[in-house]
Structures are given as C-alpha cells and as structure tokens.
Amino acid sequence: MKNKVFEKGYFPVSDGHNLYYERYGNPKGVPIVFVHGGPGAGFSPKHRKFFNSDKHNVLFYDQRGTAKSRPFASIKNNTTWKLVEDQKQLIEHFFGSQKVYLVGGSWGSTLSLVYTITHPETVKGMVLRGIYTATAEENEFYTGGGVGRFFPEVWEQFASLIPANRRSNPTKYFFEQMQSKNKKIRDKYTYAWSFYEICIARLNLDHTKVRKEMKKDKFYKSMSPLETFYISNKCFIPENFILKNISKIKHLPVSLINGRYDMICPPITAYRVHKALPKSKLFLTIAGHLRSEPKNKQLITQEIRRVCV
C-alpha cells in the first residue's frame, strides 16, 4: 500500500502528556478520527488499510501512555475523561469546526461512545467493532471465569498465576504485580495478561502464532498495565453510563460490527446498543474479536466506505 501519511508528530495535552499522531490520506478528504483499543494498544500502519487514501482524511493517535506517546505506560492523570478532553483538543486543532466520523474497536468503541455522548455536536457518525460499554457484567465475564467455559485451558493457565484468596478480583491482582519493584515480576504479569487476551481474541487459537506476534510487536507492554488500571477502576465511568445516556446520540448513523464468537466483547452488548440507537445497523459476524479476522475486516471496510462520506 502506498504510504500517504502527510503529517506526524507529537501533540501536547494536559498533565505533561504528549500524544503521538499521524495524519493519513487526503488533507481535504472526509475527516475521520481512528480511536484505538486497549486501553493501551495503540495504532499501527495495518489500520490504514481500512481507509480510502484518496477520499479520507484520517487522524491516528496513541492515547495517553500508549505506544509512542509519552510518558510511556504512564497511569498518572490517565482516565477516560482525560482521554475525552484530549480527543476534543485534537479534533478542534486538526479539523476546526468540521464534524468528524469516529472509527474504533473494542476499547475504541467505548471511548468513541463516551466521547460522542459528551460532545455530540462534533460527531457526524461512527463505525464501531467489538462493542464494550465497561459494565461490571462485561468485566466479570472477561476476567471472572466466564471465558473459561469456552477456553478452559487458557483460563486455567491465566488463573494459575493468581493466589486462591485473590481470585475474586484477578484484574486488580495483575495490576498490582505489574507495579512491582521486581522487574521479573512486572514482566511476567505484563506478558501473561496480554497472552491471555490475545489467545481468546481469535476464532482459531494458535499458541505459537500468539507468541510470535507478541515477540514481534511489543504493544502489550503499554496495553497490559493500562488495561488493568482502567478495568480496576471501572474505566472511570459510572455503571451503565453509556446505555443510560445513549439517547443523546440517537440521531447519529452508527455501524456496529461484532463477532458472534467474541470472547472479549460478547455480542449481547452490541445488540443492546443497537436496540437503543434507531439509526444504527448491527452486523454479527462469524468471527471472534480481532479486527483482522476476514468477516470483521470485510465489514469494517464496507461500513467505513458506506458511512464516512
């Protein structure tokens, strides 16, 4: 793919954070903001393939503490509301008064929804994949044993790292270990958290492939501490905040794409959001969580081209 990155650099926001960004496509094209997952996963060149570089003007950026943003993996002054403020600043700076489309997956869907509920006047529509609304029910399924019914061997390996008396809150325990003064302990739990997530993210599990991916791409080093920090703090939003406030954005076109076999973001959440948004379209795919799975990939591309015009 021809590289059409026409600007990149660091964007200073509050509290000493500097966000790495890239602008891709046509500077005069349809304004789109790509909202990556995690928290802490960052964006990569692979994400460009969903967009039309002749028609779209896409802003990619790494959220606070993520990937190339500075300071790396920092949890200081790092909350959902800080990320909402950052996104507002970025949109105002790069797109002025233009309304933008948001494209995001997993945590990116959460942040997109929270942002749009807070600033509906700045958004024209959304294409979201792997819908997550940060409720206790969703988090309990993910780290409370629900996944073990489908990936028993993966769950057993994950749970074996948690003392029996701490298994009521695995996320908090993992987060504490990642803050250890002992580097070996920090590294062990940082790797193990993401290994668990990546294993259950795909329709077909291949442990060897997962290890190769993690060795090649070190994104997990910011994703694991930030994910556990956010989930331990209920993502800094009140319980069921998104569905309780979703009527504020019922006028917007929204595409919701979710793997029917998504173990991280089960499709019931996408279904509930769809029922609450009259102008939404719901696509349940024969896929797991990953954007790269064929059916997810196809529909993300299709819906971006349909919605973002």
Nearby residues of 240 by Cβ (< 8 Å), 6 or more positions away: 133, 135
The three-class DSSP label of residue 238 is: coil
Residue-by-residue DSSP string for 150-172: TSHHHHHHHHTTS-GGGTT-HHH
DSSP 8-state class, residue 36? -
Catalytic positions, written as ranges: 106, 262, 289
Letter string b/e over residues 122-146, b meaning 16 or more CB atoms within 10 A of that residue's CB: bbbbbbbbbbbbbbeebbebbbbee
Angle at 13 between CA 23 and CA 174, to 5 degrees: 95
H or E stretch at 105: strand 100-106
- A 10 A CB-CB count for 279 gives 11
**DSSP for residue 270:** H
The conformational region for residue 270 under phi > 0 = left, psi -120 to 50 = alpha, else beta, is alpha
Please, are residues 306 and 298 in contact by the beta-carbon 8 Å criterion? no
